Amino acid sequence: MNDGLPLSEIYPVGEKQPDRVETQGGRRLADLTLNALVAGEIRQEEFAITPAALRLQADIARQAGRETLARNFERAAELTAVPTDIVMDVYEALRPGRCKSKAELLEKAAMMRERFGASLTAQLIEEAADVYEARGIFRFRF
Amino acid sequence: MTNSGVPNRWRRFDVWDERPLRLDKFAIEDPSNGFCAMQSPNDPNPSLSIRNGLVAEMDGVPEAAFDMVDRFIANHHLDLSVADEAMAVDSLAFARDMVDIHVPRDKLVRLARGMTPAKLAEIISTLSTMELAFAQAKLRARRQPGNQAHVTNAKDCPLQLAADSAIAVLLGFNEIETTLRVARNCWAAALACAVGAAVGKGDALFQCSIEEAEELRIGMAGFTSYAETVSVYGTEQAFVDGDDTPWSKTFLTAAYASRGMKMRSTSGAASELLMGFHDARSMLYLEARCLCMQRGMGVQGTQNGGIDGAPLANSVPGGGRELLGENVLAALLDLECASGNDASTTESEIRVGAKIMPILMSGSDLITSGFGAIHRYDNSFGASLFNAEELEDFLAVQRDYLLEGGLRSIEPGEAWATRERAVAAIAAVLEELGLATVEPRMSASVVAASGSNETETLSLGQVGAISDAIKARALTGADVVRALAKRGFMDEAHNMHAMLLRRVPGDYLQTASIIREGRVVSAINDPNRYSGPGTGYIMSAERRAEIARFRDAVDRAAVLEQEGSIQRDEQRRYTLIERGDAVPGNDPMEIVIGLSPAWNVSLFKTTAEHPLSAVLRALIDGIKEGGGRARVVRIRHTADTSFVGLSAARLAGSGYGIGIQSKGTAVLHQRDRLPHMNLELFSMAPMVALEHYRALGWNAARHASGQQPEPIRIPYAGESLGGRFYVRTALLYAIETAAADSTAAAIDLEARFT
């Protein structure tokens, strides 16, 4: 996605290659001026990071040798489409003892995969479900 | 000092008992109860077996017996493509490579990805404190160090938060972290700090430490730009008691990135000990587990080096070294390191200075993960290692060693203007958004106040109402930018808009990102490639000048100006009339007072601030009272006290003379003695009172009449005379020596007091 360009040419993207990213509403970075904001033409949501930007940052991290950071950005790219309430609901489900069974947690994984196409996130949840079962993390806490 | 009254106990122990240090508690090393910094006998030996491309055994634990921490590290941290090579490396050889300028950072970081926690802990434990600091200079991620501030106050007052955030930016902090006394106030605090942080350079990243869901929402609203509350623990039970798992934290890490927020984890020595589940392992081994997990989670960085457990780590032998070792380990794992030094670990200021020193020398992505930019009592996280009270001490250390601590000194004028601007901006925003009416007396009290004890401001209830309204009305950073612009705060609107704009491409999500001069700077575009002298971070001439500037520093011109200011007063008090070349006298009771060359010519007071007229009068009066007759001469060929004194003695009919320099150093001499074998010397001029000069005159006269008076003792309580006075002394003495003329003879003076 970064066309194999060296990091020095594309990073920081917002300063060196701002046209590589668009807002969620499809606007160019250059259009998000202070004047437009003051004139009420831009809503806060327009300043949200996009999946494409996160995947570009993942490429940059990977090229710098940071594979695990890149994977995090790729999971994050999936979560951009997930409403905050659901994000917090899944987070809550992953905390110890919130789900009482493996099946309950697997449901969340399925939801992430089917409803949001978040397969990397779903894999993480499925892995957690296995470990939680093996380690008794589903035990009662409150 | 109290007397303990214990029989047969040297009273020096009573003196030690009174030191602030004695408020600190020290723990006896006890590995089985977790009180062990490094190398516990219970730590596993490093090992790793890989079968069929899967981890079969790690650090002595077979795969089937993995707890969730082991499992997460095996699945997400260990890079099996380098693991065999990495685990085969001799730990001592690897440690030597860490301090070898010829071995590049990349090589070490690559191998660390394949190392188990026990292997990493073993490597770190072979390094001395000095070697750890050196390794950190080489391994830390970003080239130019930074620093982070805590900005909070006991009243959760948004006006003060804005003013103190603006001050933090002015001081040079790259990140600002706030939290609350009352959780409900978080939205008001976030808005206030965001506005304050937009004043001036307006380039600090900002976080509001609060419950995760709320923190995420505040971030999404555009008020905050980073988070660091994602705690990680090194044992399964501590993790579960912390109400999380490595997977829940991994999910949260992605959640923050998905909202465009920079995020780092928190871990550090003794957190497991504080939580009661330490598995009898050493602090370093448990932290190695934490850091491997963090790398596996894909978080860009860590806040480690003790944190909440730092005081406990510092209570055991080698605790300070362990805390530094943790920071090095974070860097070795290629994580941004916000190197702790936040929680106050000690009541001893010496231990505070010692604790900061190695990391200041090595540099760090963020030297502290929370320097209290506010008063200790205003810090809602608890007092920091360094606080507003000690800010100038930190600046002095930075200046002494020309180390990059990220901060600069500020002048009263710019501080006042910055606070006025920040308070005006937040007041305008609160009014414009219909959140509160800020009375002028409130603004005035906050601008002037050093801390919340001095403010007359919104009540906690009022702040709560503001906070509720921000949340209920779903106000955002965009709304605040509009309000700022509408009220004419265009610079602040611009800065805050720029911060919002940076979120879209997400450049500051990369490792060790901060904003500097309006640009994102991180381990990607400012990587640390230190490889010995002349490489790595080198302070620019401008930055060096900034660090060199110090409030109330003096130079020769300043000292001369001070002298000039009392010259006129002195001219009213007395005149010294020249009466020709001085010749030896005959009167057996004659005492000669030899004045130094610049006395009343260019210098007019002693370092003890006595006007020279008063000193001369005291000497003359003392001589008279002792039955002598005083004669005043100016010695012109030397400024050295001993020689001024001896020259005076040789002119005196009695053979006794007093030599005195303008800075107040005085000597009582006798004509037949060797130059430095004087009778009495006042060497600590700053401590000498007028009565001592009078007594010296009296003693001179008693010597003349053949008596042996008791020498005068100048009281001294151990003040650092060098630190307090040497700058002035050196400058004054240079003026004195410049006034000497080796060919000039002594001349008689007539002192006329008016």
pLDDT, tens digit, 9 for 90 and up, residues B486-537? 999 999 999 999 999 999 999 999 999 999 999 999 999 999 999 999 999 9
Q: Is the pLDDT of residue B484 over 80?
A: yes
With contacts defined as CB-CB under 8 Å, which chain A residues touch B212?
Answer: 88, 91
Q: For residue B247, give the nearest of A18, A53, A124 by CB distance.
A: A124
pLDDT, tens digit, 9 for 90 and up, residues B687-705: 999 999 999 999 999 999 9
B104 to chain A, any CB pair closer than 8 A? The answer is no
Q: What angle do CA B116, B118, B124 make, to 5 degrees?
A: 105
**Sign of dihedral through CA atoms B510, B515, B518, B523?**
negative
Residues in B 468-497 with any Cβ partner in A closer than 8 A = 476-479, 481-482, 485-486, 493-494, 497
Task: Say yes or no for a CB contact (<8 Å) between B258 and A79.
Answer: yes
Task: Say yes or no for a CB contact (<8 Å) between A96 and B477.
Answer: no
Average pLDDT over residues B114-119: 98
Residues in B 155-214 with any Cβ partner in A closer than 8 A = 212-213
Length of chain B equals: 754
> Looking at the structure, do residues A140 and A93 belong to the same domain, yes or no?
yes
For residue B611, the cross-strand partners are: B605
Two structure tokens written together for B657: 């003379």
Nearest residue to B704 via CA among B737, B655, B632, B661: B655
Crossing angle, helix B117-124 and helix B283-297, to 10 degrees? Answer: 130
Cα of B493 to nearest chain A Cα, Å: 8
pTM value > 0.90: yes
- Say how far apart CA B1 and CA B14 lie, in whole Å: 7
B368 to chain A, any CB pair closer than 8 A? The answer is no
Evaluate whether B94 touches B126 at the Cβ level (below 8 Å).
Answer: no
> What is the distance, to the nearest Å, from the Cα of residue A138 to the centroid of all Cα atoms in its chain?
26
Read off the CATH number of the domain in which A97 is found: 1.10.1510.20
- Say how far apart CA B12 and CA B107 lie, in whole Å: 53
Task: Say yes or no for a CB contact (<8 Å) between B510 and A60.
Answer: yes
Residues in B 250-269 with any Cβ partner in A closer than 8 A = 250-260
pLDDT category of residue A106 using cuts at 50, 70 and 90: very high
Task: Say yes or no for a CB contact (<8 Å) between B485 and A34.
Answer: yes
- Name the percent of chain B lying above pLDDT 70: 100
Q: Is the pLDDT of residue B153 over 80?
A: yes
pLDDT, tens digit, 9 for 90 and up, residues B168-220: 999 999 999 999 999 999 999 999 999 999 999 999 999 999 988 899 999 99
Cα of B394 to nearest chain A Cα, Å: 32
> Looking at the structure, do residues A4 and A74 belong to the same domain, yes or no?
yes
- Say how far apart CA B327 and CA B345 lie, in whole Å: 17
Can the peptide bond before residue A12 be classed as cis, meaning omega within 30 degrees of 0? yes
- Say how far apart CA B50 and CA B62 lie, in whole Å: 11
> Looking at the structure, do residues A87 and A122 belong to the same domain, yes or no?
yes
- Residue A64: give the domain boundaries: 1-80
Starting at the edge strand found earlier in the chain, the sheet holding B48-51 runs B48-51, B54-58, B61-62
Q: For residue A44, give the nearest of B75, B300, B476 by CB distance.
A: B476
Q: What's the mean pLDDT when you consider all of chain A? A: 94
pLDDT, tens digit, 9 for 90 and up, residues B612-662: 999 999 999 999 999 999 999 999 999 999 999 999 999 999 999 999 999
pLDDT category of residue B167 using cuts at 50, 70 and 90: very high
> Looking at the structure, do residues A65 and A132 belong to the same domain, yes or no?
no
φ/ψ (deg, to 5) at B227: -145, 150
- Say how far apart CA B745 and CA B751 lie, in whole Å: 19
With contacts defined as CB-CB under 8 Å, which chain B residues touch A78?
Answer: 254, 258
> What is the distance, to the nearest Å, from the Cα of residue B180 to the centroid of all Cα atoms in its chain?
24
Crossing angle, helix A119-135 and helix A102-116, to 10 degrees? Answer: 180
Which residue in chain B is spatially nearest to A129 when comparing CA positions? Answer: B247
- Say how far apart CA B529 and CA B546 lie, in whole Å: 25
> Looking at the structure, do residues A59 and A117 belong to the same domain, yes or no?
no
pLDDT at A16: 96
pLDDT at B3: 66
Please, is A26 exposed, middle or buried when counting C-beta atoms within 10 Å of its C-beta (0-12, 13-18, 19+)?
Answer: exposed
pLDDT, tens digit, 9 for 90 and up, residues B1-36: 556 778 999 999 999 999 999 999 999 999 999 999
- Say how far apart CA B587 and CA B653 lie, in whole Å: 5
Q: For residue B295, give the nearest of A21, A53, A68 by CB distance.
A: A68
> Looking at the structure, do residues A87 and A139 belong to the same domain, yes or no?
yes
**Sign of dihedral through CA atoms B546, B551, B553, B559?**
positive
pLDDT at A5: 79
For residue B593, the cross-strand partners are: B632, B658
- Say how far apart CA B593 and CA B620 lie, in whole Å: 8
CB pairs under 8 A between A and B: 214
Domain boundary among A30, A46, A80: A80
Q: For residue B67, give the nearest of A47, A75, A135 by CB distance.
A: A135
Would you give the DSSP letter of residue B44?
P
Amino acid in the structure at residue B487:
R
φ/ψ (deg, to 5) at B633: -130, 160
With contacts defined as CB-CB under 8 Å, which chain B residues touch A44?
Answer: 221-222, 476-479, 500
Two structure tokens written together for B238: 């501590």
Domain boundary among A64, A80, A96: A80
Evaluate whether B629 touches B623 at the Cβ level (below 8 Å).
Answer: yes
Cα of A10 to nearest chain B Cα, Å: 10
B32 to chain A, any CB pair closer than 8 A? The answer is no
- Name the percent of chain A lying above pLDDT 70: 96
- Say how far apart CA B291 and CA B274 lie, in whole Å: 18
pLDDT at B2: 57
Q: For residue A53, give the nearest of B217, B504, B524 by CB distance.
A: B504
- Say how far apart CA B709 and CA B699 lie, in whole Å: 6
With contacts defined as CB-CB under 8 Å, which chain B residues touch A132?
Answer: 68, 245, 247
Q: Residue with structure tokens 């502290």?
A: B368
Task: Give the DSSP per-residue string, B554-610.
Answer: --HHHHHHHHHHHHHHHHHHEEEEEEEE------TTEEEEEEPTTBTTTB-B-TT--
pLDDT, tens digit, 9 for 90 and up, residues B564-581: 889 999 999 999 999 999
Task: Give the DSSP per-residue string, B163-206.
Answer: HHHHHHHHHT-SEEEE--SSGGGHHHHHHHHHHHHTSTT---EE
Q: Strand, helix or coil at A53? A: helix
Q: Which residues of B are catalytic?
A: 148, 150, 177, 228, 303, 342, 369
Q: Is the pLDDT of residue B325 over 90?
A: yes
> Looking at the structure, do residues A98 and A51 belong to the same domain, yes or no?
no
Which residue in chain A is spatially nearest to B510 when comparing CA positions? Answer: A61
Nearest residue to B295 via CA among B74, B50, B39, B81: B74
- Say how far apart CA B1 and CA B23 lie, in whole Å: 16
Cα of A9 to nearest chain B Cα, Å: 10
- Say how far apart CA B627 and CA B736 lie, in whole Å: 32
Which residues make Cβ contacts (< 8 Å) with residue B645, sequence separation at least 6? B594, B657, B658, B659, B666, B667, B668, B669, B678
Q: Determine the residue among A33, A46, A63, A66 to mutate to test chain B binding: the one whose Cβ has the most chain B Cβ atoms within 10 Å.
A: A66
> Looking at the structure, do residues A22 and A49 belong to the same domain, yes or no?
yes
> Looking at the structure, do residues A4 and A42 belong to the same domain, yes or no?
yes
pLDDT, tens digit, 9 for 90 and up, residues B389-412: 999 999 999 999 999 999 999 999
Domain boundary among A44, A61, A80: A80
> Looking at the structure, do residues A61 and A96 belong to the same domain, yes or no?
no
Task: Say yes or no for a CB contact (<8 Å) between B299 and A38.
Answer: no
- Say how far apart CA B599 and CA B577 lie, in whole Å: 13
> Looking at the structure, do residues A75 and A5 belong to the same domain, yes or no?
yes
> Looking at the structure, do residues A60 and A93 belong to the same domain, yes or no?
no
pLDDT, tens digit, 9 for 90 and up, residues B55-102: 999 999 999 999 999 999 999 999 999 999 999 999 999 999 999 999
Evaluate whether B37 touches B26 at the Cβ level (below 8 Å).
Answer: no
Q: For residue B510, give the nearest of A61, A84, A125 by CB distance.
A: A61
Q: Strand, helix or coil at B157? A: coil
Please give the tally of structural domains in chain A. Answer: 2
Average pLDDT over residues A54-68: 97
Amino acid in the structure at residue B191:
L
Can the peptide bond before residue B675 be classed as cis, meaning omega within 30 degrees of 0? no
Which residue in chain A is spatially nearest to B474 when comparing CA positions? Answer: A44
Q: Is the pLDDT of residue A3 over 80?
A: no
- Say how far apart CA B644 and CA A23 lie, in whole Å: 82
Q: What's the mean pLDDT when you consider all of chain B? A: 96
Evaluate whether B497 touches B222 at the Cβ level (below 8 Å).
Answer: no
Q: Strand, helix or coil at B748? A: strand
Which residues make Cβ contacts (< 8 Å) with residue B493, sequence separation at least 6? A34, A38, B198, B481, B482, B484, B485
- Name the percent of chain B lying above pLDDT 90: 97
Q: Is the pLDDT of residue A1 over 60?
A: no
